[in-house]
Structure 1
């Protein structure tokens, strides 16, 4: 039974990490949600259970990032415009929204002041007014540098454009539509206690719970594992309504690596990207607040993936790295021990007549390609490409059946142009301007099989 392995992994992480309370949820499109809690809440009025709430820390940033992309899709902002175009700031207003989303704008990590020493955070107005006291620690676009300040600025930028507070816009445009009823800005009655666990004994000290004020768009939220697993699944396979799936795909494209010498993780537009081998990637965010750690991810691609696969691991210890490891382990286990059912192949309608002469083998740059018609679309792949590599997919331009746009895969965005003989048969193609022919031709048009060995032009 797969649940036994899930349970063992969770219980081992809780014991090894010495985590007072651990709440885990795994959701997928083809199964009922799986939930497990281990430990004690520290809240005598609300024992630990599926409805227990944990701080999710910087997982909050993924919500703020979606709010920014919603505003972009609604025409309220341009990702490549500077912040100062939309928000009156005394300094660093030249940073673009795209750079802030990907943590490549060079903003210092926190707002001005020792907020983690005093536990006093500025409100939104003061935080923005004191931007001239915060440093630009790196030049724009130089490299990845994580910044709570940058995402907080973006949260208030969206709030201004929408005419409300960050919390109001978040609830209206994300939490309510997705049914995330247990995700809140304010600390709920069901909150578990967060702890600092002593390194040299089994003692645990409660950490203070405090409001982040103006920094809220970066790390304020409380939630349940079930709500957060649902959010992880949304980031992997979004249903239309909250955000166009193509926009979420844009957010998932890597903008930067987080470590130039170890390419184990990257950052997209507000999302962490963790490759997991064989064309799979985990997309989501980690979170940390005093006494809490969280990992919330969805799984994209890979063999056995049922789709809509998301996992959340929420813990009440601020030092247990097992929380952030367990979320990835459970996503791997889900496709290893309980993979999606294999759907039987069934015959379908043939390719439309205008594209039938495209099907088959073609040559370009000395390499062989195979063009086919599958799932109602013209597709192409390199003949010797690994089986798991997605094909290029084409879509005809409006009113131009012989000119197609590459909409995914190799050469995305480029045109494929078909050239026909007098009978209407496609005899030559140009893809991204490279010539495609039925025989293996050199760049001068001669067949490789006809040319004598020698020096060109000799």
Structure 2
């Protein structure tokens, strides 16, 4: 249920219904269910079905395929945040003898570990997991197809390895760890390893006739961390809120932001579409909007989760067909419909509660050589550096509590910004990753590397 304050306008709701109706009809999906999240809660739910009077609701389970990988990534990052592993650790440190030991944990999360896309035959999605009881059965005799860390190559076995890593370091099955550390804290009661009623059945739709064939539903066994889960639009809506805002019971806002940061170079075919991959999340630039999330598919099912953090809007779409509607495009369209029709209302401006004079004097124009920038203080105690012309690097900075800031994004992500003071306490310049920002262009009174010509600025005679 939604409250009037968060309800969408009638025109927006109709546009959403129209969009999923077109997708279900043209994609010939037996059923399609969707939800939209705004301001941290679900504000719309819609469904289309080929069975009269049996439209699925937000409590009906569908298989979500590779969205499972995002859940597995959350578990791995929890281990990192607890100090049990480092993202730069080679796999061999924690799981020796796999044949892929030189790949780092970050490589596996970002699909840059060089592993194969699939496990050895038979096709793992349509055969019992009991055929692959050991990790070696998933990886095969030659796990690596590409040099480690050199290129993005999507790998289902890579996430099987990560699930095995979770099991080893936690001393418990992946399913049990997921339930206790993620699903229960976030209230995702309808996200399970095995289907629980009510759930949709998976279908294949004949490509040249309006006929159906039931798809088998296999227990993926050791491959489960790559694609086993069943879920609902209601649960995935709550998961979307977590991926946008974090939840300290599971992962901090800083860590989920790290998940959303590109960690793998795009393949040449993806450059035009602006597609890349973070740590367990797909990233796409589409029509000027940055979208994060994940898609999923298994025989009989399609799934998509799309989030625009800047717009504070997310969409979940699930369908029970092997192929048909393009859910990644549909999810992006649902986000765009809401974001464009009902743009986010900004929070009221409020002045700072406290002002430190030593910090306040830094809020002003600064010059890197001859380029002008403005340093602005933000309400959260941080700062932003913005060019005063159309061109130039811009970044946001997090306060470190000692008078310095660390870059959050852009060119200066991770770089230290600190004021350099003279013996009398006045500010000589700002140091940003060794770059010097002065009060005036090439300020002769500041410590400019290389010095400033003593004759100063001049014309041409």
1:81-124, CA deviations, whole angstroms, 9 ceiling, x for partnerless residues?
22222124342222221111111111112223313486133467
- 1:68 corresponds to which residue? 76
Alignment correspondent of 1:51: 59
What secondary structure does 2:441 align onto? Answer: coil
**Counterparts in 2 of 1:35 and 1:448: CA distance versus 1, 3 Å:** farther
**Residue aligning to 2:205:** 197
Query: 1:130 Cα deviation (Å)?
Result: 6.0
Q: Is the 8 A contact 2:382 2:405 kept in 1?
A: no
DSSP-derived class of the 2:144 partner: coil
Q: Is the Cα contact below 8 Å between 1:296 and 1:327 reproduced in 2?
A: yes
- Of 134, 141, 159, the match for 1:151: 159
Once residues 215 and 387 of structure 2 are traced to their aligned partners in structure 1, the CA distance between those partners, rounded to angstroms, is 56
Show the counterpart of 1:292.
301
Q: Distance in 2 between matches of 1:234 and 1:258?
A: 26
1:99 partnered with 2:107:
yes
Provide TM-score, normalisation by structure 1: 0.88
Give the equivalent residue in structure 1 for 2:385.
380
Question: Which runs of structure 2 are paired with 1:409-428 in the superposition (5 Å)?
Answer: 409=409, 410-420=411-421, 424-428=425-429
- State the Cα distance separating 1:298 from its structure 2 match: 1.7
From the superposition, tell whether residues 234 and 117 of structure 1 become closer, same or farther in structure 2 (CA, over 3 Å): closer
Change in CA separation of 1:439 and 1:101 when aligned onto 2, cut-off 3 Å = same
- Given the alignment of the two structures, is residue 274 of structure 1 paired with residue 278 of structure 2, yes or no? no
Deviates more, 1:404-413 or 1:185-194: 404-413
Change (3 A) 1:138 1:4: same
Matched with 2:7 is: none
CA distance in 1, matches of 2:197, 2:455: 76
Cα distance in 1 for partners of 2:424, 2:96 equals: 64
SS in 1 for 2:323: coil
Once superposed, which parts of structure 1, at least 4 consecutive aligned residues long, lie more than 6 Å away?
Answer: none
Aligned match of 1:86: 94
Which residue of the partner structure matches residue 457 of structure 2? 450
Give me the TM-score of the superposition, normalised by structure 2: 0.88
Q: For structure 1, which runs of at least 5 residues remain unmatched after alignment?
A: none
> Which aligned pairs between 1:99-118 and structure 2 lie closer than 5 A?
99-116=107-124
Query: How far off its partner does 1:178 sit?
Result: 0.4
Using the alignment, how far apart are the partners of 2:416 and 2:150 within structure 1?
33
Alpha-carbon offset, residue 324 of structure 1: 2.2
- Number of aligned residues: 441
Q: CA deviation at 1:8?
A: 0.8
Distance of 1:182 and 1:384 partners within structure 2: 51
1:141 aligns with 2:149: yes
Q: Give the deviation of 1:331 after TM superposition.
A: 0.9
Are residues 134 and 202 of structure 1, via their aligned partners in 2, closer, same or farther at CA, if it must alter by over 3 Å? Answer: same
| Secondary structure of 1:24's aligned partner | strand
Residues in 2 aligned to 1:448 and 1:223: alpha-carbon distance in whole angstroms: 72
Aligned CA RMSD, in angstroms, stands at 2.7
On the 8 A contact 2:41/2:238 being kept in 1, the answer is no
Do the aligned partners of residues 41 and 67 (structure 1) sit closer, same or farther apart at CA in structure 2, a change above 3 Å counting? Answer: farther
Structure 2 gap segments, 5+ residues each? 1-9, 444-449
3-state SS of 2:332 partner: helix
* Deviating more after overlay: 311-320 vs 332-341: 332-341
**What do residues 152-173 of structure 1 show as CA deviations (whole Å, max 9, x unaligned)?**
1110110111011010001000
- Is the CA contact 1:79–1:96 (under 8 Å) kept in the aligned structure 2? yes
In the TM superposition, 1:358-437 aligns within 5 A as 358-375=362-379, 376-385=381-390, 391-396=395-400, 398=402, 401=403, 404-409=404-409, 410-420=411-421, 424-437=425-438
User: 1 CA distance for matches of 2:306 and 2:119?
Assistant: 27
Q: Structure 2: how far apart are the matches of 1:8 and 1:126?
A: 47
CA contact (8 A) 2:49 2:55 kept: no
Matches of residues 207-246 of structure 1 in structure 2 within 5 Å?
207-246=215-254
Q: Kindly tell me: are residues 358 and 189 of structure 1, through their superposed partners in 2, closer, same or farther at Cα, counting changes over 3 Å?
A: closer
